[in-house]
Amino acid sequence: MKLLLMVTAVFEGATGIALLVAPSIAVSTLLGAELDTPGGLVVGRIAGAALAALAIASWQARNGERHGIAAGVVAAMFVYNLAAAMIVAYAAVGFGLQSPLMWPVVFAHNVMAAWCAAILWLQRTPLDGG
């Protein structure tokens, strides 16, 4: 679990900082689409702040107990990674957006979601009383 949380912190932190600092460049690089409206820039920066917050939570939880805060962060990251993979895949298929990074991003988020699911499955506690 510790390694998963550290990897999550590094990659999501880097993406979050990129979205905060230069949302147009980050979105263009990741999705092959322009982010050219003021509203889009605001939403891109909010997404960047959210990813940076997830990175901080992951980094802080890396030494947590397996059934406490760290497990909660891993469960949240499972949902995030699964949703991110589906959203980016839909952007490619449904909206026709293209970038060399799109499918590697979908793959990476699916791998991270599977890793989260595996950690949660292995860390589960059996039900008491049968």
Amino acid (1-letter code) at residue 50: A
Within-domain flag for 13: yes
Within-domain flag for 35: yes
Within-domain flag for 130: no
**Distance (Å) of CA 3 to CA 8, 75, 76, 91:** 8, 15, 16, 30
Within-domain flag for 87: yes
Please give the model's pTM, rounded to 2 decimal places: 0.69
Within-domain flag for 81: yes
Cα dihedral: 99, 96, 48, 72 (round 10):
-100
Residue range(s) defining the domain that contains residue 67: 2-123
Within-domain flag for 62: yes
pLDDT in tens, 63-96: 876 667 788 888 888 988 998 899 888 888 988 8
The total number of structural domains that make up the chain: 1
Confidence band of 41 (pLDDT split at 50, 70, 90): confident
Within-domain flag for 107: yes
